[in-house]
A and B are shown apart, each in its own frame.
Chain A
Amino acid sequence: MALAHMHASGMGGIRTAGDLVARMQFSQKMRLNEAKEYVAGKLKVSVDDLVDEVVMNELRQELDISTVYAGMGEMARGIESKFRIAKLLDMEINSVQRFLRKTNWQQ
């Protein structure tokens, strides 16, 4: 059923920009359109581009914020990409903050 919803109406997660828009909903309580516009503005693309797998795959590679393909070990993934996403979206991500605390790392 999750797959049916994904195909019917989902944004596409890290295939596109669904995870980024979801972050703005969950962390900033942004409504859908506001969240899409915020993310599009930060990525410097149109709102329509946010769900375009071709545009977003290339952009995510360029920004190094993870795609569904792990590649040859070159792409940032998981916590690595979340460091970049926090900076890109100008927000704090809880797991990134925890990582910084546990490594005593100063950004």
Chain B
Amino acid sequence: MVVTRMGDGSFITLSKDEVRRDIEEGVADAVKRGKIEPLGADEIDHLVDICCRPQKFVSVEKGKELILSYDSGSLKITRLGIPIGMPQIMQLYERAFAADSLELAYVHYSFKPIKSIVPEEQYAVAETSLVTTAPLLYGAMPNLPLYTKPDGPCDNAAELLPAGKIDQARQAQEEAVEYAIKDMVFVSSGMYEAGADGIDFDTTGAAGDAEFYATLKATEKLREKYPDMAIEIGMAGEFVLGFHGQLEYDGVRLAGLYPHKQVKLAEKAGASVFGAVVNTNSSRSFPWNLGRAITFCKACVEAADIPVHANVGMGVGAVPLVMTPPIDCVSRTSAAMAEVGKLDGL
């Protein structure tokens, strides 16, 4: 029998045949939703092997290593209640955690609040760039809802839609898009001028298609302004919610896009790296979630012309939806993403 977990982190015991069945059902779910190719028999065998190994920790075969990037990496130390400065946190990541790249971030991890403290954040970026060697990104979330009343100037589409005010809801989102683009370009420019290698737009599309649109437009403007800037677009979920429903980018309707189509628009806008997301279903097993996540990510990698880094934190990429993700699942996901998904990074 195989000891594994549910997507909520709880232990379950499955037979090897049940592990295979769950993986195959996860693959089938991704194929149906994304209209993508299934994994091959040998790839499913590989996932079964990864899930069924008795070791607590699983790693890749030597030579299959990939690049690690981070979202809100520096805040992970802050959230532990360890009161040290950002440059020192970045040094810890580089020298103690063997990070391939670094991401500096502010505790209010959204562009709108950062706009008012850009000079202070620039100090942190400039200082860090002097004492670290690895590529340094500055990360934040587009977070479109922060532009709605009472926190912002725009009407709240989430209140207008239930009232049947569809046109007003769309107009409110379009207005918020313009504010968000300005803030993303302003903050990102400031961090690049201070010495960062680039920017990470994290949890893009959390507020739906309008937020994805704003991020693509901001990326476009930044690419034109800074041809050599590193720009990572990391998504919030596997599926772009049609909160607006009519927005298009480069003639493609944004609502309903899955990772393998999202990445093509990120490329078109000028992104350097795309962060694919597949949501974890907490009511299904880890093998089911792993089969599903790998199928989506592999399709994204095959469609992409830029590096793809899968999001594999709590609640995404088959990692259970818990605050302390268990390393038996994290390590299996990590190995599967590298060996079967053929990701460029995580």
Contact = CB atoms under 8 A, between A and B. Distances in A.
Q: For the complex, would chain A's binding face be called helix, strand, loop or mixed by DSSP majority? A: helix
Size class of the contact patch on chain B: 35 or more
Given A22-B67, A98-B195, A6 B345 contact: no
17 contacts: A1-B314, A5-B334, A6-B98, A8-B334, A10-B67, A11-B66, A12-B100, A13-B98, A26-B230, A27-B230, A27-B272, A31-B306, A32-B307, A66-B133, A68-B95, A68-B98, A79-B130
B47 to A, nearest CB: 15
B97 A1 contact: no
Interface of A: 1-16, 18-19, 21-23, 25-27, 29-32, 35, 47-48, 51, 65-66, 68, 77-79, 81-82, 85, 92-95, 98-99
B133 A85 contact: yes
Contact of A48 (B62, B228, B337): B62
A32 B344 contact: yes
A14 B100 CA distance: 7
B135 A19 contact: yes
Contacts of B196: 94-95
A18 B189 CA distance: 26
Contact of A8 (B57, B134, B135, B232): B57
A18 B133 contact: no
Contacts of A14: 94-95, 98, 133-134
B198 A26 contact: yes
B66 A92 contact: no
Contacts of B272: 25-27, 29
Contacts of A23: 135, 197
